[in-house]
Structure 1
Amino acid sequence: MGIFEENKIDCHNHVFDPVRFPYRADTAYRPSGQELGTAAQFTRVLEASGVQHALLVGPTSGYRTDNACMLDAIAQGNGRFKGIAVVEDDIDRAALRGLKEAGVVGVAFNPAMEGVAKLREAGPLFDLLADLDMFAQIQVVEDQLLALTDLIDQTRVRILIDHCGRPVPGKGIGQPGFEALLALADNGRTVVKISGLQKVSEQAFPYADAQIYAKALIAAFGADACVWGSDWPFLRAPERLDYAPLLALFETVVPDPAIRRKILWDTPKRLFGFQ
């Protein structure tokens, strides 16, 4: 049985539907053209690829802290979707609890786009997330994680790292930021998304130079703390991307069916509560 017949959960993707849910006026980037992807379109992609569930991520682009498009997709998805929201730092416990009851399992933080200084003030929000057993999802780039390890060490919240930690392409697993990510495997509450290989590669598909990062993370964290994500609908992609080739690539990166089942199904099902 190959990857297209195996049970799968896609743990990093976005929905954009500016006709029904207009973008915020103050967004820094407005996805358009082939970057758009409604929940209905994404559902067709999932069904064609044999993917049962998806963890939707509220995007900084387009919507920022307006989670209406994502929440509508979850509500209409008949259990297919859960979400990661983008919120204001001063959100209160009741509002966070409301998001959780609506199918949100965590909150996204984006130092890669907004810088690390903003996240240094997130300790109280991390505490609220820990109290509610929700994730703090963090997207860093290059060596940004070095500035955040003290904050992570001092909190109780479960951490979800985007896109293999987005190391610098070509600098290998010994670069400081990636070594700091590997060290988080020891805390027992960090999960890594094996996704976005095109973001950490200097080559065209199949991103051979980036596969070392995915394999190193799986070796360090184990299949019980790794999940897979497509990054559909591929904002700012350096070249054309399609869903099926990315699934086939993951089968190449993780040829062992037992390990693949954990990363694609058992682990995200357990962590995010998919039924």
Structure 2
Amino acid sequence: MRVALTIAGSDSSGGAGIQADLKTFQALGVFGMSAVTAVTVQNTQKVFAIQEVRPEIVHDQITCLFDDLPIHAVKIGMVASVALIEAIARALRSVGTLPPVILDPVMVSKSGYALLQPDARTALVRHLFPLARVVTPNLPEAEALLGRTISDISAMKDAAREIASLGGGNVVVKGGHLGDQDATDVLFDGTAFKLLDSRRIDTVNTHGTGCTFSSAIAAHMARGVPFFDAVARAKTYITGAIAHALPLGRGCGPTHHFYDLYRRAGMEIG
């Protein structure tokens, strides 16, 4: 069985972070493992607090797993501090030949809570971008990385090219924040662009969409699917998960990671 590792924070509400990643891996036929970078206090309404895991513990979570069995893809999510970023980079550099690394540069929660310390942005680019096969910023994250506003598809292409030059290899700039009728993502493999469109779904229940999308890319790449195809399949998966999102809690509910399994089993999806 193919194996994927998520390096990310824990979400007590179960909709994002390692919980979303592990559900996605399982839904897409990949065995998931985790290295926890932080424990968050959050629900569907907001993030209340974050407690980081000690960097040496994060480092050792990663290396002990690589020492034990083959890992076919790595997804990196929330890493809030310079010390954590440096520890993760040391761990990944120590394992020899890396499988595809998918980096989701998480910076701010949906409720506005800062998930990346101000001095950590430079460290993220310096230490983790060179290790990444794919980087998946949304528009606010791309704008923060580049220091400018991105307002249309042309600007998204320019951003993807520039982010790739930072060491990110393949880049997916997610266009869900543009506000157009369709949600258009810009993919760049260092040479060619591809646009992926999907219908915009009218729902507030989108907690964990970025985590789910990037971990779906990781799951497909763990199974040997090339970049463009892996992202296209992940886009189909996250669109379905949002379409069947669960109206749980008083805020933004989670997506439904197992909607397709429920459908095939004849179970009620909602």
TM bracket (short chain): 0.3 to 0.5
The structure where strand makes up a greater share of residues is 2
Output the TM-score relative to the length of structure 1: 0.42
Output the TM-score relative to the length of structure 2: 0.42
